[in-house]
Amino acid sequence: MSAATAPALEATHQRNSPRHSINVPVDLIALRFGVPENLPGRCTDISEVGVGAVVAGEMAAGQQVAVELRLPNVGVPMRARALVRYQSRLRCGLEFVGLSAEQRAMIRYWVHCAASQPAVVPAMVPASVEEEASGTARTEAPIVVAESAMPKRRIRIGRRGFFALIAAVVALAGLGWWQWQRSWNELEERNPAGPLRVSAETMEKRIVTKMDPAYPEAARTAGTEGVVVLDALIEPDGSVKHLRPVSGSDLLVQSATQAVQSWKFEPYVDPSSGQAVEVKTRIAVEFRLH
C-alpha cells in the first residue's frame, strides 16, 4: 500500500473509532529473516482500532509486528499484534489484530482519565490604574482550574474489595503477558526455524554469475574506497532475494547492492533434507581506486 493512501486509511479509522493524541514510547518487534528485530519509536495517537507512530526503522505494508506501549495511568503495559497499513518516511499506521476486551478497556480507561485532566481556560487579568489611564488593553492569562476545586465523589473500598482489586490487576498483567507470548509465537510460526545461515566462504565458492560493481563517480572524486558488507538472503534456485547493508560508505552501498542483486549462486542443498533451501549469508564487496 502506498503512502498516498494513508490519509484515506486514517479517515476510515477515525469514523470507526476516534483517535486520541498521545505521546509515549512504543516498541515494535518485527521478524527479519526469522530473527526478531526491535524498532523503537513514539506513539502519536491511539484508538481501539490501531495506533499512529514515528518509528526508527523501515517496514512494509502488510507486515505483521508485535507492539508494546504503556498508557499513562494504566498500571500494566499493553502488548498486541498489529499489521503495518502504511509508512511514509518514519511515520506509520498500525492496525491492531485480535485486540482483547481487556485491552480495549485499558484504552477506554486512559481516554477517560485524559479527558478528566484539569483544563486551562483563558481569563482576563484586571488592569492596573496606570494601564486603565493609558488605555492599555487587558491581557489574557491562563488559569488552571484546580482539580481539588471540583466536587468529587468518594468511593470507599473495604478490605475484601481492596484485595479483589489487587487480584484483578495481577490477573490482567498475567493475561497481558500471556497474550503477548501467544502473539509472538504466532509471528514465529510463520517461519519457525528461518533460513539456514551459511558462511561467506562457502557461498563464495558457489557463485555462478558475478558482476563487478561500477565505481560511483562521486566516490571516485572524493577518493572514497573500502569494503561494503551486505546481509543476503539467497533463494533455493540461487538468485538473490534480499540485501541489507551492514557497513560501508554511503557513496558505495548503492553500487554494491545493484551489482550483487544480479549475482547467481549454485543452489544450496540442506544435508538433512537433501533439498535446495533458502539461505542467509554475508557478502563483502571491495572498492579500490588503484
Name 33's Cβ contacts closer than 8 Å, sequence gap at least 6: 194, 195, 231, 233, 242, 280
On whether the pTM is more than 0.75, the answer is no
Contacts of 213 (CB under 8 A, 6+ apart): 252, 255, 256, 258, 259, 260, 285, 287
Residue listed under C-alpha cell 473500598: 157
pLDDT above 80 (res 28): yes
56-68: per-residue pLDDT in tens? Answer: 788 888 888 899 9
Residue intervals in the chain for CATH 2.40.10.220: 3-113+163-189
Closest CA to 193 of 272, 118, 78: 272
CATH 2.40.10.220 is held by the domain 3-113+163-189 = yes
CATH of domain 196-287: 3.30.2420.10
Counting DSSP H helices and E strands in the chain, the numbers are 7, 14
Report which of 124, 108, 105 is spatially closest to residue 116, judged by C-alpha positions: 108
pLDDT in tens, 159-194: 666 556 566 655 555 555 555 555 455 544 444 456
Q: What are phi and psi of 47, to 5 degrees?
A: -150, 180
* Lowest mean pLDDT across 43-57, 104-118, 254-268, 272-286: 104-118
